[in-house]
Structure 1
Amino acid sequence: MSSSDGNRNQRFLSKVCLVTGGSRGLGLATAQAFAREGARVIIVARDQQQLSAASAQIKGDVIAIPGDLATLAGIKHVVAELSAHVDHIDVAYLNAGRAGIKRLDAMDEETWDRVFDTNVKGTFFLVQAIKPLLVPGSAIVFCGSAAAKNATAGLAAYGSSKAALEHLTRIIAAELITEDIRVNMVVPGGMNTDIALHTDGLDPENSRAFRERIRLGTPMLREGEPSELADAVLFLASSEASYITGAQLAVDGGSANFRRPPS
């Protein structure tokens, strides 16, 4: 059953669920899913206009906080705003990320640093900053990528950063397990989102071609829907996954495990 269905139970009733990168795409879909199951949702993103539009689409109790999570100053600002609204966090879905698609000869230091600052450094220091708000029984879910395992031209910075984030997931899970905080990762493959049409480093035409290559390389021969990724996040964040930590859940149409033979 998809989390878009109206008869899901209220697994997150009165829970405080933080979603970074929550103004569009996979983050927005997941924030909407948490809200449908009764959560108080806090979305964070850089763009105030997109945040306002996203808040209007989320039916339920939602707080929108603008902030750049790639810098320590931005993280400090976001956590201060967060602490002004809530005294604890039950779930943190850390979805904010950058792609920076550039091949070897075109890669520059600014793009490389921006990707790693957002996907790795910012994620680590955000966890450090919100840790005092996490309570026993809470859950962190990171957003990885199939690009961490599947070498794709142009994804040197993105794929490497997501591979680093995979290992970071395991390390943070090991550190927080004694505090009864579970830490897991969803690993999406090609997803059907508007963001993919405006990927950092690609113009819309090349982005469509890039998406088509990803689709043809996926055993299911289709992109995943945001609601399918949201279902996986909510499962890992819920008590249904109470004996799971340090794990990765691939939501990628089988691409992490095998290739579909040519027809």
Structure 2
Amino acid sequence: MISQKLSEKVALVTGGTSGIGLATAKRFVAEGAYVFITGRHQPELDAAVNEIGKNVTGIQGDVSNLADLDRLYAEIEQEQGRLDVIFANAGGGEFIPLGSITEEHFDKTFNTNVKGLLFTVQKALPLMPEGASIILNASTASIKGIPASSVYSATKAAVRSFARTWTVDLKDRQIRVNVVSPGLIPTPAYDLLWGLSEEQLKELVANLAKNVPLGRAGTPDEIAKAVVFLASDDSSYVSGIELFVDGGFTQI
């Protein structure tokens, strides 16, 4: 019997069509929540909704497009009237070394990972009751010097900063804001980040795992379980933290 830690909660997972977002949406539903997921591409969104199976609505949109966010929240308000949990997960990037960074790369990464995340949260506030929970997806890249990740890492450092200021901004409403920072978690997004073949990617992950104290890569579901903790009353006295789910990578 699953404990239903999110019974009767209404949740939103942005970027919920694959990887960490999809795994978290599945966990939220298993824990009793009704979940809205977003994604930019309708076919992937439909597939994710089918995979989740119940208590889910998929809404196509791009978090960096403010009109899409307005449409998203209008639909959530119409269907459920409130939003108890947000997992602001949509994000991405490419590894480009200093010297080769373009304005387009900078704008695209910041528009999704910083602007999109900020307005995802700000535009949701009218729907959020006292005691709601906001979880932001950052990365170990925000505190580790990873080659060719200037722009991506800077966006994730901004996400970490948001949690600190929003914890103070929202304290009167008892809304908790926390960050989850995944470590080495192979997902479909890795293909875009690294631009490698499947074989090359396997080799890279195996090499990177040697730097992880637990000696392996993690799974999207291991991140999802941490997000459930931050979304639920199990973490009722936890706010403003960065929870590293990285096998110890950032701690040594």
2:55 partner amino acid: D
Provide the secondary structure at the position in 2 that maps to 1:199. Answer: helix
- Residue 61 of structure 2 is aligned to residue 88 of structure 1: no
- Residue 29 of structure 2 is aligned to residue 35 of structure 1: yes
2:205 partner amino acid: R
Structure 1: gaps of 5 or more residues: 1-6, 259-263
1:168 to 146, 162, 173: 162
Q: How does 1:19-168 map to 2 (within 5 A)?
A: 19-168=13-162
- On the 8 A contact 1:100/1:112 being kept in 2, the answer is no
CA distance, structure 1, for counterparts of residue 239 and residue 176 of structure 2: 5
- Aligned residue in 1 for 2:187: 193
CA distance, structure 2, for counterparts of residue 101 and residue 166 of structure 1: 20
Q: CA RMSD in A?
A: 1.5
- Residue 221 of structure 2 is aligned to residue 255 of structure 1: no
2:119 partner amino acid: F
CA distance, structure 2, for counterparts of residue 176 and residue 156 of structure 1: 30
Distance 1:126 1:119, change over 3 A: same
Deviations 1:185-236 (A, max 9, x none): 111001032332x124523355445434432221212111111111100001
Cα drift, residue 9 of structure 1: 0.5
CA distance, structure 2, for counterparts of residue 114 and residue 148 of structure 1: 18
TM-score (norm 2): 0.95
Deviations 1:112-132 (A, max 9, x none): 111111111111111110000
- Aligned residue in 1 for 2:214: 220
- Aligned residue in 2 for 1:3: none
1:10 to 4, 11, 16: 4
Query: Percent of counterpart pairs with the same letter?
Result: 37
Deviations 1:65-117 (A, max 9, x none): 00010122222222223223221001001100012221113221111111111
- On the 8 A contact 1:38/1:60 being kept in 2, the answer is no
1:121 partner amino acid: K
Cα drift, residue 154 of structure 1: 1.5
CA distance, structure 1, for counterparts of residue 2 and residue 210 of structure 2: 33
Provide the secondary structure at the position in 2 that maps to 1:142. Answer: strand
CA distance, structure 2, for counterparts of residue 78 and residue 105 of structure 1: 38
- On the 8 A contact 1:144/1:188 being kept in 2, the answer is yes
CA distance, structure 2, for counterparts of residue 68 and residue 201 of structure 1: 22
1:54 partner amino acid: A
- On the 8 A contact 1:141/1:186 being kept in 2, the answer is yes
How many residues align? The count is 251
Structure 2: gaps of 5 or more residues: none
CA distance, structure 2, for counterparts of residue 54 and residue 121 of structure 1: 25
Cα drift, residue 25 of structure 1: 0.3
Deviations 1:7-58 (A, max 9, x none): 3201111110110110100000000001011110100111111100000111
Provide the secondary structure at the position in 2 that maps to 1:44. Answer: strand
2:197 to 201, 204, 225: 204
Distance 1:171 1:99, change over 3 A: same
- Residue 230 of structure 2 is aligned to residue 240 of structure 1: no
